[in-house]
Amino acid sequence: MATKTFAIFLVLFCTLLTAVGQVFFKLAADFHGPLVYNYFILVGFLLFGSAGILLVFAFKHGELSVLYPLIATSYVFVSIFSIYIFNETMTLFKWLGVFIIIIGITLLGIGGTKR
């Protein structure tokens, strides 16, 4: 059971890395200067690559049908980061989408427990 819990937390950490990587890609898109000096792209790829490698380890210790939907939490993290970092606004429909994602992940997690 401890390894399954570890796998869940590892996937959540991977989604956090992925969300931060997406923030760096947005910063890279807004960068004004030569591509050679755009280090935001490099950091974004490093975060995505690290998350991908860690996902392999997480998948080894848990059910794919439970762990993979957790990756959708990156949408939640990106929405929150976009508010605080880029001053983007969240509409009612965006918040509803975030809520539905959380409900869906919860239902899949509950349904994935072996009896």
Q: State pTM to two decimals.
A: 0.85
Is 1 buried (19+), middle (13-18) or exposed (0-12) by CB count in 10 A?
exposed
As a whole number, mean pLDDT of residues 11-28 equals: 96
114: pLDDT strictly greater than 80? no
96: pLDDT strictly greater than 80? yes
